[in-house]
Amino acid sequence: MKLSPSLLFATLTLSAFTTPASAADSTSNNAASDTEALYQTHCAACHHPQRLGGLGPALLPESLGRIRPKQAQEVILHGRAATQMPAFADRITDNQASQLAAYLFQPAAVTPQWTDEDIRASHIIHFPKSGLGDKPVFDADLMNLFIVVESGDHHATLLDGDAFKPIHRFKTRYALHGGPKFSPDGRYVYFASRDGWISQFDIYNLKTVAEIRVGLNTRNLALSADGKWVMVANYLPQNLVLLNADRLSPLKTFPVSNREQGSRVSAVYTAPQRNSFIAAMKDIRELWEIRYDQPAFPVRKITTEDYLDDFFFDQDYRHLIGASRSGESGQVIDLESGATIATLNLPGMPHLGSGISWETEQGPLMMTPHLKEGALSIINMKDWSLVKTLPTLGPGFFTRSHDGSPYIWVDVFFGPNKDKLHVIDKETLEIIATLAPEPGKTAAHVEFTKDGRFALVSLWEDNGALIVYDALTLKEVTRLPMSKPSGKYNVYNKTHYVRGTSH
Ligand code: DHE
């Protein structure tokens, strides 16, 4: 069994300075250090050596929320659907999994804190505004640019969305996750990393201009529609953090709890029509709306019938459609009244923002993949009735479309058909094509150009590629080599909240 240098040091230090232990003590100490070593061997690379989270979430009692040790053991052995968490049943025994699960529920030796003081101390201004020009240093349609996140080597590429040529490639923080957000004029893009770093990149000057660490384990960020405020959702600490979007200076922290307990924040989004941020909670049945057009940033708390792990909004941000990962049904919450107005027969969503909506002759429809099976639910948003369940080749992660396209694109992220993408007609609701950009290689996450004419797909592999398709003929136009490209984001679509695209 491999011991990390720090663990070896800790073990040696302990044995050198403690008084002789009884046989029973030494047996239990050995078991504890075996479990710690198991953790370092199998878990630390993704979840951090001190369990603070990295590629995977933090694994501390305060961040495990609704999970119990028995469920944690199951996840360790069999993986977790619709996440990057693999199954370890081929590498460790049931007994080891049980010990590991118990270990995760032990408090850390030193409780991890990330205070307002830590936040302030982490703030870096790389380039003050006064030192930079106001004109882009390159020539391209500024509204048809893409940011492509390359998760393989933690970089991002700024791409010209007309010529399909990279303009600039730059290093990002480790393990970015979630959609970056553009300022309304498209000049700045804001990124969040899983370990709490928020970065502001100046697209005109091709420079990361400011950074700040707002937490230890972060979910995502939202930018107010007026471009003034950044709100960040955290798992650890359990809070929301408000920043000034101009160079990320910290303004306010909102600890999250009800009367009984604290809660991780599932995610936060901007509702542009409501001048508010909407945050869903993971461990309490509440939804928070925080107004950003009032100086005190007042919080309205809405009680929900179930937890909200995954959710998205209708086009005018009047309704939130959400589900808990353990539940068998979805809920529709009217943000105006705060009431749950419908329950959907929806066996779980695979991911935040996995659903989309679009207009048809029969009114607005929405579609979301299912969490654990190859199927899509199509729901009429006038009366929330189920229109159709469409079988697919496996559970997908993202559905995407564009007002300028007659089709919806859905990936098959998991299982033997992870290399496939379905293209669905918005009117007939039938699959009209199934593409396999590179047999055996994961193809996922589609985003459209500003006009909806081209669809960009990730070949989600270390030696991967960004593949551009003609969104009407479905023929490949070009492919650019990239390092495990994950999400890609178009400035116009995101700043104009184009229906069906990444918001
Ligand atoms: Fe994501 C967005 C949560 C696993 C790739 N995902 C988001 C957002 C949240 C979220 C909160 C933010 C939405 C926003 O701001 O627009 N993701 C979760 C999970 O809870 C889940 C299931 C488990 C976890 O690990 O946290 C999860 N996500 C994944 C992955 O395994 C993916 C495929 C690979 C990865 O990078 O971790 C993944 N998530 C993405 C992408 C987006 C995203 C590419 C942006 C989508 C967009 O089009 O806007």
Q: Which residues, 6 or more positions from 252, have their beta carbon under 8 angstroms from its beta carbon?
A: 241, 242, 297
User: CA Rg, the chain, in Å?
Assistant: 23
Q: Which residue's CA lies nearest to atom 44 of ligand 1?
A: 487
Residue 65 covered by a domain: yes
**In this structure, how many other beta carbons lie within 10 angstroms of the beta carbon of residue 362?**
10
DSSP 8-state class, residue 193 = B
Q: Rounded to the nearest whole angstrom, what is the distance from the C-alpha of residue 255 to the centroid of ligand 1?
A: 23
CA distances from 250 to 32, 108, 123, 267 (A): 40, 27, 8, 19
By most ligand atoms within 8 Å of CB, the mutation choice from 324, 352, 456, 459 for ligand 1 is: 352
486 within ligand 1 shell (Cβ under 6 A): yes
Q: Is 242 in the pocket of ligand 1 (CB under 6 A)?
A: no
Element (H, E) at 353: none
- What does 1-57 look like in DSSP terms, one character per residue? -PPPHHHHHHHHHHHHHSPPPPHHHHHHHHHHHHHHHHHHHHTHHHH-TTS--SSSP
Cα–Cα distance measured from residue 82 to residue 286, given in angstroms and rounded to the nearest whole number? 24
How many other CB atoms are found less than 10 A from the CB of residue 20?
6
Give me the interface pTM, i.e. the ipTM: 0.96
Lay out the sheet containing 155-160: strands in order across.
165-171, 155-160, 145-150, 485-490
Q: Per the domain annotation, does 27 fall within a domain?
A: yes
Residue from 48, 174, 177 to probe ligand 1 pocket by mutation (most atoms less than 8 Å from CB): 177
Residue 397 near residue 383, CB atoms below 8 Å: no
Asked, for residue 190, whether it belongs to a domain, the answer is: no
118 within some domain: no
Residue 72 belongs to domain spanning: 5-104
Helix 94-104 and helix 69-78: axis angle, to 10°? 130
Long-range own/partner contacts, residues 164-169 (CB < 8 A, 24 or more apart): 164/454, 164/468, 164/477, 164/478, 164/480, 166/480, 167/138, 167/140, 167/206, 168/138, 168/206
Looking at the domain assignment, is residue 446 inside a domain?
Answer: no
Q: How many independent structural domains does the chain possess? A: 1
The domain spanning residue 44 has which CATH number? Answer: 1.10.760.10
In a domain, residue 459? The reply is no
Q: Is 352 near ligand 1, meaning CB less than 6 Å away?
A: yes
Encode the chain (503 residues) as per-residue pLDDT tens digits: 333 333 332 322 222 223 334 444 555 566 678 899 999 999 999 999 989 887 888 888 877 777 889 999 999 999 987 778 899 999 999 999 999 999 999 988 887 899 999 999 999 999 999 999 999 999 999 999 999 999 999 999 999 999 999 999 999 999 899 899 999 999 999 999 999 999 999 999 999 999 999 999 999 999 999 999 999 999 999 999 999 999 999 999 999 999 889 999 999 999 999 999 999 999 999 999 999 999 999 999 999 999 998 899 998 999 999 988 887 888 999 999 999 999 998 877 878 888 899 999 889 999 999 888 899 999 999 999 999 999 999 999 999 999 999 999 999 988 999 999 999 999 999 999 999 999 999 999 999 999 999 999 999 999 999 999 999 999 999 999 999 999 999 999 999 999 999 88
Place of tokens 């270990």: 103
Does residue 287 form part of some domain? no
For residues 480 and 170, give the distance between their C-alpha atoms in angstroms, rounded to a whole number.
16
**3-class SS of residue 116:** helix
Q: What DSSP state is assigned to residue 366?
A: E
Asked if residue 483 is part of any domain, the answer here is no
End-to-end CA distance of the chain: 46
Nearest-angstrom CA–CA distance, 66 and 6: 31
User: How much distance in Å is there from the Cα of 351 to the middle of ligand 1?
Assistant: 7
Q: At what angle do helices 23-42 and 94-104 cross, to 10 degrees?
A: 90
